[in-house]
Amino acid sequence: MSKPRVLISDALSPAAVEIFKQRGIEVDFQPDLGKDKDKLAAIIGDYDGLAIRSATKVTPKILENASRLKVVGRAGIGVDNVDLPAATARGVIVMNTPFGNSITTAEHAIAMMFALARQIPQADASTQAGKWEKNRFMGTEITAKTLGLIGCGNIGAIVANRANGLHMHVVAYDPFLSADRARELNVEKVELDELLTRADFITLHTPLTDKTRNILSGDAIAKTKPGVRIINCARGGLVDEVALRAALDSGHVAGAAFDVFVEEPAKENPLFGHPNVVCTPHLGAATAEAQENVALQVAEQMSNYLISGAIENAINFPSITADEAPRLRPFVALAEKLGSFLGQLTEAEIRGIRIEYEGDVAAMNTKALTSAAVTGALRPFLPEINMVSAPLVARERGIMVEELKRDNEQSDYDSFIRITIDAKDMPRHAGGTVFHDGKPRVVEIRGIDVDAEFAPHMLYVRNADQPGFIGSFGSLLGDSGVNIATFSLGRDAPGGDAICFVAIDQPAGKDVLDKIEALPQVKRARAVNF
Ligand SMILES: NC(=O)c1ccc[n+]([C@@H]2O[C@H](COP(=O)([O-])OP(=O)(O)OC[C@H]3O[C@@H](n4cnc5c(N)ncnc54)[C@H](O)[C@@H]3O)[C@@H](O)[C@H]2O)c1
Ligand SMILES: O=C(O)[C@H](O)COP(=O)(O)O
């Protein structure tokens, strides 16, 4: 098998390159490539992984060309430069490093607050211009002032901690902040309107979503305390820049410090040129420490996924730890093959897929297993589907996916998975397990016990349990030049319904299937491939 290949298309710390190499992954480091979308689109098809910061835009067009891509790793927090639905639909895992640059970004917000309070950039420019304007720069003290946090997650909490150390009073608006957590952080949880009227400084620490876009709108800014200072080190678009400029011009807002802008790179912006505005070019995460943290972490996470299937910090897939990955792998194969078996038998519209987990497997990462089962079931109809895209694909098609878990008191197996496809014509179900050899096996089809390993080419035959069938079936295959590798039989009762599941060395064509179906005992014969 060839080595996985990763492209780094943004300015990550070179520490990432070393990690990829140590893990046996081929790596191309082209730190400016992300800015050239056409060049990226032209070469992305050669890579299994793409490591980025915020300059690379992972658009549907890039993804369309990314035929081998399995993972996008964001060395940082925000993934708004990645088209998540498009990545998910193409089965590409998107992972980030949610904590590696939080301290650094919180420190930047605090630095911005001081820069505003004491007009440090303006005083610096004036002093170095030889003006010595000692009376021009009258600042404001931070101690005992109220800091309003909009968003109190990882970064907001660190800002709160530092602000407490500065003897500020911290109020926070965050619908997901619990009363206990607020107490622990020594912040006062308030509604947005109260924050607006009370805060001397407002700092934003939410992602940009439909709910947070323009959370500081013109109306919200009008409710703020006269003389308020506003800091945005989270995402451009949280504040209405035009309305803020007007409020700065009128003197209602005393200052604004922005690291992020509606349009980036920000070459022009409504805030630029105002004497009380301080801007930095999206430097929140730009410290040597943070960059090393996120680069090392993303390279480790991507390598783990590409080498062992372990998934950490994925935005669009449940986590699979490195310990869990090897235990889960045979069950992923079992779930996918059982789903595939039933999917291949199904010709009518699929309305639902139920996956039952019994015994030890019920305690495993069943979300991943369910995705594998759905992948197998739908792949005969949708060849591009994979474990990442499967839940979305099922949802989009109105297919109900249901998971049930039970202990295994009733079962003969330590672990047992049964899948039922509810199709418009009839439900079909099959169950399987993994033995100590790590090989997935089918042990139940239509409620009838069997015992068969999966093989690349198989025949599935339903027949009446009558004498003479096995002999004529075997002769027919032999006469057709089809060699039987393994043969597994089951029946519900003597003389009742029987099934056989046969591994064959050569694929069986339609002519062979027609001949099998012409045997008097046979009700149905299908070729299935794994
Ligand atoms: N400037 C930079 O370089 C830089 C660096 C790192 C992170 N960031 C950005 O900072 C932001 C915060 O990062 P984080 O790690 O703290 O994220 P986080 O997910 O830990 O915290 C975000 C918080 O926002 C809250 N929130 C969500 N919707 C809200 C709403 N409508 N109103 C109020 N609060 C809401 C959430 O409950 C959560 O507590 C992200 O947008 C991230 O991309 C910027
Ligand atoms: O979301 C983030 O992590 C920050 O916005 C940092 O972005 P950057 O890696 O492009 O500096």
271 and 122 co-located in one domain: yes
> What DSSP letter does each residue of 88-103 carry, written as one string?
HHTT-EEEE-SSTTHH
Per-residue confidence (pLDDT) for residue 1, from 0 to 100: 67
Residues 126, 230, single domain; the answer is yes
**Residue 72 included in any domain:** yes
Identify whether 329 is a catalytic site residue: no
* Structure tokens belonging to residue 463: 């027949």
Give how far Cα 350 sits from Cα of 75, 385, 396, 397, 427, Å.
40, 15, 13, 9, 9
Helix axes 469-479, 510-518, angle to 10 degrees: 160
Residue 247 Cβ inside 6 Å of ligand 2? The answer reads: no
- Domain at 479, CATH number: 3.30.70.260
38 shares its domain with 65:
yes
Provide the residue range defining the domain that includes 491: 457-530
pLDDT band at 173 (very low <50, low <70, confident <90, very high): very high
- Burial pattern 455-478, b for ≥16 Cβ within 10 A else e, equals bebbbbbbbebeeebeeebeeebe
Tell me if 450 is assigned to some domain.
Answer: no
Task: Give a yes or no: residue 149 inside a domain.
Answer: yes
Same domain, 150 and 273: yes
Sign of CA dihedral 150, 155, 156, 159: negative
Number of domains comprising the chain: 4
Question: How do residues 3-13 score in pLDDT, each as one tens digit?
Answer: 999 999 999 99
433 and 464 fall within a common domain: no
Q: What local confidence, expressed as pLDDT, does residue 425 receive?
A: 82
DSSP collapsed to 3 states, 165-183: HCCCEEEEECCCCCHHHHH
Report for 74-78, 177-181, 344-348: range of highest mean pLDDT: 74-78
- For 250, counting Cβ atoms within 10 Å of its Cβ (0-12 exposed, 13-18 middle, 19+ buried), the class is exposed
| Same domain, residue pair 201 and 245 | yes
Does 519 score more than 90 pLDDT? yes
Decide if 513 contacts 519 (C-beta within 8 A).
no
Q: Rounded mean pLDDT of the chain?
A: 94
For residue 273, count CB atoms less than 10 angstroms from its CB and return exposed for 0-12, middle for 13-18, buried for 19 or more.
Answer: exposed
The residue count for the chain: 530
Is residue 53, in this structure, part of any structural domain at all?
yes
Regarding predicted confidence, which is higher, 208 or 62?
62
| Residue 284: inside a domain | no
50 burial type by CB count under 10 A (0-12 exposed, 13-18 middle, 19+ buried): buried
167 part of the active site: no
| Ligand index nearest the alpha carbon of residue 298 | 2
The CA 282 to ligand 2 mean position distance, Å, reads 7
Residue 511 vs residues 5, 380, 464, 518: alpha-carbon distances, Å: 44, 21, 21, 11
93 and 107, same domain (yes or no): no
Q: What is the pTM of this model?
A: 0.80
Q: Are 252 and 243 in contact (CB under 8 A)?
A: no
Does a structural domain hold residue 314?
A: no
With a cut of 0.90, is the ipTM above it?
Answer: yes
Q: Are 432 and 416 in contact (CB under 8 A)?
A: yes
CATH label of the domain that carries residue 270: 3.40.50.720
Residues 46 and 25: their CA atoms lie apart, in Å, by 13
CATH no. for residue 341? Answer: 3.30.1330.90
Residues 332, 422: one domain? Answer: yes
User: Which member of 282, 379, 428, 462 is catalytic?
Assistant: 282
Q: What is the pLDDT of residue 439?
A: 92
Question: Based on the domain organization, do 85 and 198 belong to the same domain?
Answer: no
Task: State how far the Cα of 528 lies from the Cα of 472, in Å rounded to an integer.
Answer: 21
* Sign of the torsion angle spanned by Cα atoms 94, 99, 101, 102: positive
Residues 254, 189, single domain; the answer is yes
Average pLDDT over residues 194-205: 98
Backbone angles phi, psi at 189, to 5 degrees: -80, 125
Give, for 421, the enclosing helix (H) or strand (E): strand 415-423
Query: How many whole angstroms separate alpha carbon 406 and alpha carbon 431?
Result: 14
pLDDT band at 380 (very low <50, low <70, confident <90, very high): confident
* pLDDT for 242 beyond 90: yes
C-alpha distances out from residue 466 to 366, 484, 499, 519, Å: 40, 21, 12, 11
Ligand 2 proximity of 77 Cβ (cutoff 6 Å): yes
The catalytic position among 23, 53, 74, 235 is: 235
Q: Which residues does ligand 1 sit against, CB inside 6 Å?
A: 77-78, 101-102, 105, 150-156, 173-176, 205-207, 209, 211-212, 233-235, 259-260, 282, 284-285
- Distance CA(509)–CA(55), nearest Å, equals 52
Mean pLDDT within 405-419: 86
Q: Which of 407, 424, 445 is the last residue of a domain?
A: 445
In a domain, residue 31? The reply is yes
Q: Please tell me whether residues 426 and 483 are part of one structural domain.
A: no
The number of beta carbons lying within 10 Å of the beta carbon of residue 169 is 17
Residue nearest to atom 7 of ligand 1 (CA): 77
The Å distance, Cα 98 to ligand 1 centre, comes to 10
**Is 315 part of any domain?**
no
Distance 340 CA to ligand 2 centre (A): 41
Q: Which residue has the tokens 């950490």?
A: 312
Which of 140-154, 211-225, 409-423, 509-523 bottoms out in mean pLDDT, i.e. has the lowest? 409-423
**Mean pLDDT, range 261-265, rounded to an integer:** 96
Q: CA 116, CA 50: separation in Å to the nearest integer?
A: 38
pLDDT of residue 360: 93
SS3 label, residue 126: helix
Q: Widest CA span of the chain, in angstroms?
A: 108
Which residue, 245, 249, 258, is CA-closest to 202? 258
> For a pocket test of ligand 1, which of 205, 235, 239, 287 has the largest count of ligand atoms closer than 8 A to its C-beta?
205
Residue 2's pLDDT is: 84
Q: Of residues 412 and 242, which shows the higher confidence score?
A: 242
Bridge partner residues of 228 (DSSP):
253
To the query of whether residue 264 is one of the catalytic residues in this protein, the response is yes
Residue that wins the pLDDT comparison between 182 and 411: 182
Mean pLDDT of 111-131: 98
**Residue 101 CA, closest ligand 2 atom number:** 3
- Expressed in percent and rounded to 5, the helix, strand and coil fractions of the chain are 35, 25, 40
Q: For ligand 2, say whether the CB of 78 is within 6 Å of any of its atoms.
A: yes
In the chain, % of residues over pLDDT 90: 84
Residue that is last in its domain, among 445, 473, 495: 445
Share above pLDDT 70 across residues of the chain, in percent, rounded to a whole number = 99
- Encoding tokens for residue 83? 């088209």
Is there a single domain that holds both residue 437 and residue 485?
no
User: Is it the case that residue 243 has pLDDT exceeding 90?
Assistant: yes
